[in-house]
Amino acid sequence: MSELYIRVAEEENEEPMEIPSEDDGTVLLSSVAAQFPGACGLRYRNPETQCMRGVRLVEGVLHPPENDWGNLVYIVNYPKDNKRKMEEIDAATVVKIKRGFQKTSDLIVLGLPWKTTEQDLKDYFSTFGEVIMVQVKRDAKTGNSKGFGFVRFTDYETQTKVIAQRHMIDGRWCDCKLPNSKACPDEPMRSRKIFVGRCTEDMTTDDLRQYFMQYGEVTDVFIPKPFRAFAFVTFADDQVAQALCGEDLIIKGVSVHISNAEPKHNNIHQLFPNFPGGSASLAAMFDRSQYHFPSSHV
DNA sequence: GTTGAGCGTT
């Protein structure tokens, strides 16, 4: 396919800029954001209805309406539109989503037979409702099942129903519960940085940036090397970061868990970045101080 | 090549 560009502008009557599409006809949100920093999506005026329409966005990829971008000018969406007026609405929306709307979360499935596969789980749980993902936890070396797994449903009602009863799976009774990892939803800490747990090795900084852009402007993505199965993502707006904490999100088909960065004790190296003798001696001192004091003082 | 309460390679 020849190289294709779509026309994008900040406002309807402004001069558009040409943004390149991918080989499959989609446009990466990151391509848009490269020219319009902070962009989180596109919209356009539907010639038939004269209404604004949103462009489908899936994991950082923008899809052409009816498989053809046509000759329209697309308008950039930003997480928060005009200055402070919208900022307040945005905050209210964030709170509403966090409180009212009942999001589903991963459920742990305990007591699975050793032989049960992910396909078995999918088949079984699909009888309750649409399944987003299933996992069977296995020993990395042997590949043997550890006898438990995870399942995630689309609908909260399905989740409620599944938790409420026992499950006969491949000849054993199994229980589905909310996992402990989300027992204590993170509290205050107005951090703009989130901790992204359970990352897989094929997730690049670009992948994460593209994915998280849909929630707000991303200012930094950090993936430790060598691979440690987690990452940090920093947003421009702390409300965006806070709203995501406690969520399970699916990136590249994998369920990652979002929590506050630095949840336990604050990072001493960040508190005292220029400590004389370097951070190693500071860490040693910190450890000793914890050792000497009774726990009630720490 | 085993097992049967738990908690996902922070």
pLDDT per residue over A275-294, tens digit each? 444 444 444 444 333 322 22
CATH superfamily of A191-258: RRM (RNA recognition motif) domain (3.30.70.330)
Residues 6+ apart with CB under 8 A from A211: A59, A60, A249, A251
Better-predicted residue by pLDDT, A267 or A259: A259
Q: How confident is the model at residue A261 (pLDDT cuts 50, 70, 90)?
A: confident
pLDDT at A2 over 80: no
Nearest nucleotide by C1' from A260 CA?
B10
Distance A168 CA to B4 C1' (A): 15
| Angstrom distance, A148 CA to B3 C1' | 13
Higher pLDDT, A298 or A192: A192
Separation of CA A49 and C1' B9 in angstroms?
52
Round to whole Å and give the CA distance between A239 and A256.
20
| Fold annotation for A105-175 | Alpha-Beta Plaits (3.30.70)
A140: the nucleotide nearest its CA (via C1') is B9
Average of per-residue pLDDT across A263-275: 45
Q: Which residues pair with A18 in a beta bridge?
A: A7
Please tell me whether any atom of strand B lies within 7 Å of the Cβ of A77. no
Tokens of residue A197, six digits: 């747990």
Q: Is residue A129 predicted with pLDDT exceeding 60?
A: yes
Which nucleotides of chain B are near protein (any atom < 7 Å from a CB)?
1-10
A126 touches strand B (CB under 7 A): no
Place of tokens 């005026």: A45
| Cα angle, residue A232 at apex, residues A226 and A236 outer, rounded to 5° | 145
Q: Answer whether residue A83 shows pLDDT above 90.
A: no
- The pLDDT of residue A237 is above 70: yes
Phi, psi torsion values for A214, nearest 5 degrees:
-65, -20
Statement: the CB of A259 is under 7 Å from strand B: yes
The region of weakest confidence among A18-27, A105-114, A184-193 is: A184-193
The pLDDT tens digits for A33-73 are 999 988 999 999 998 999 999 999 998 999 999 889 999 99
Determine the nucleotide nearest to A256 by Cα–C1' distance. B8
The nt closest to A110 (CA vs C1′) is B6
Average pLDDT in the A173-181 region?
91
Q: State the nucleotide closest to A229 in CA–C1' terms.
A: B9
Secondary-structure breakdown of chain A: helix, strand, coil percentages, each rounded to the nearest 5: 30, 30, 45
**Smallest CA–C1' distance to B8, residue:** A198
- Inform me whether the pLDDT recorded for A272 exceeds 50: no
Looking at residue A36, the DSSP 8-state letter turns out to be: S
